Amino acid sequence: MPAVAEEENTRRVQGKDLADMLNRTPGALSSAATNKYFCNDYPVFEWAEMHPAGNQVRHYNVPVRVLKERLPQEEWERFGVFE
């Protein structure tokens, strides 16, 4: 039986919130996601959930480990992150 990679636990985050976490503007974040660039050393293009027309980002599915890195613990609950 082939090994199956375990899917990483993620949370849905809006662009403005993720831009704030990464200390970037929402426009820079969106551009990085659309053009498949890293943003502040993170692969935001991998997290982007694109609109079916493919012309804009709906939201980002951010790994919980990144949220724990970038947010103070008192904000974890807002994004559904718990110990």
Task: Please give, one letter per residue, the 3-state secondary structure of the chain.
Answer: CCCCCCCCCEEEECHHHHHHHCCCCHHHHHHHHHCCCCECCECHHHHEEECCCCCCEEEEEEEHHHHHHHCCHHHHHHHCCCC
Is residue 5 situated within a structural domain?
no
Write down the residue that tokens 């053009």 correspond to: 35
Is residue 1 situated within a structural domain?
no
**Calpha distance 19→51 (Å, rounded):** 18
User: In a structure prediction context, what are the per-residue pLDDT tens digits for the chain, which is 83 residues long?
Assistant: 455 555 789 999 999 999 999 999 999 999 999 999 999 999 999 999 999 987 899 999 999 999 999 999 999 999 999 87
Position 36 scores a pLDDT of 94
Q: Could you give the number of structural domains in the chain?
A: 1
List beta partners, residue 63: 10
Structural domain for 21, as ranges: 10-79
